[in-house]
Copies of this chain bind each other. A is one copy, B any other.
């Protein structure tokens, strides 16, 4: 069902390399440039904006934040820490500052990680006005004493929050949601892996000849982006979305991970588990208590969309997470290619997964259709075993994922057998009430 994605890993890694230096945040130029980069590769992308201060359920669109420059200088030694070197150095949403401070005062505005002395931590303060620099523990230790010049030439003012949406229509109005976020600065697996895989999947879907489902692919700032989007589109989403995934943490080569929807058991959950079994990979199965991205909104009470997460090493479980160590070395072309394969497999399973009903009462006569060995010997029954087992559960109530489970067959094998049965006009599709 799936061709080997040879170059796709390199391609996605190259995109990530271009996007890496941009200073993404909930708002601002870095976010806009990121979305424009994606639109250049995928012109159907619709980039939208919403004004600061707009209400969205319990929340409000924040002010737009932009940074011209930001640095610290030790006035004695001339040592500097500069936002230009790594945009993680500046705490997200830092207010403008231009003053001389003592080391003691500076300490109140420095973040570092004592247990990871080479890592710059990723810190933000979206909803309380403050400023800070983030440095490695080693930088902090060696930054000397005395007085320091602090310059943050940032603006924090009424503007817009941007996000982008791609709708790829299919035969049916029923939709699959893919949601990824574009609000973290220079980090790789826990940021760019999502957008570059969403982009690659989008291009693959656009090239796919017949799509049963329509696809809604969102590139949004995390949390506030999904909350805003839900506030505007809930009714339509609840009507149409039959399964969805949050795309994040897809870039490393370590474990596979699965976080279920709030109550589990949705089509997205069933497809996720079938995909991981189909790929024959080991994986960590988390509970919804261990969630951490936009499924928090999509699965919240009253929203309750069937959204799960398929990941590699999950946020919060790897030490590079939310530090400068989650970089383009931690995220590899191979890891991205494997994750692309996982998401594509899920979509292929979804596209193929249907309810079928055998058209005969009693087993069909396979022999007259050339599907049965003409001479019945002691072992010939085994030859048609898969065929008859699949037929036995083509009862209009059991979808192909469940048939695959019951019959201990790969989904791919069930799909091949369904093709044979269709070719011989032995089954017909049954429209079941959607599971969502």
Seen from chain A, the residues whose Cβ lies within 8 Å of a Cβ on chain B are 57-59, 91, 111, 113, 121-128, 130, 132, 223, 226-227, 230-231, 234, 262, 288-289, 292, 296-297, 299-304, 316, 321-323, 357-358, 360-365, 367-368, 372, 374-378, 381, 385, 388-389, 391-396, 406-408
Contact = CB atoms under 8 A, between A and B. Distances in A.
Contact of A303 (B126, B301, B362, B389): B362
Given A124-B376, A321-B378, A389-B289, A57 B361 contact: yes
A301 B392 contact: yes
A407 B289 CA distance: 7
Number of copies: 3
A127 B59 CA distance: 72
A138 B256 CA distance: 56
Contacts of A132: 375
Nearest to A427: B301
Contacts of A289: 385, 389, 406-408
Given A58-B362, A127-B367, 5 more contacts: A58-B364, A113-B378, A122-B378, A124-B375, A132-B375
A218 to B, nearest CB: 14
B376 A302 contact: no
B362 A230 contact: yes
Interchain residue pairs A-B with the least CB separation, the first 3:
A128-B374, A301-B395, A58-B360
Chain B CB within 10 Å — which of A299, A303, A363, A395 has the most?
A363
A128 to B, nearest CB: 3
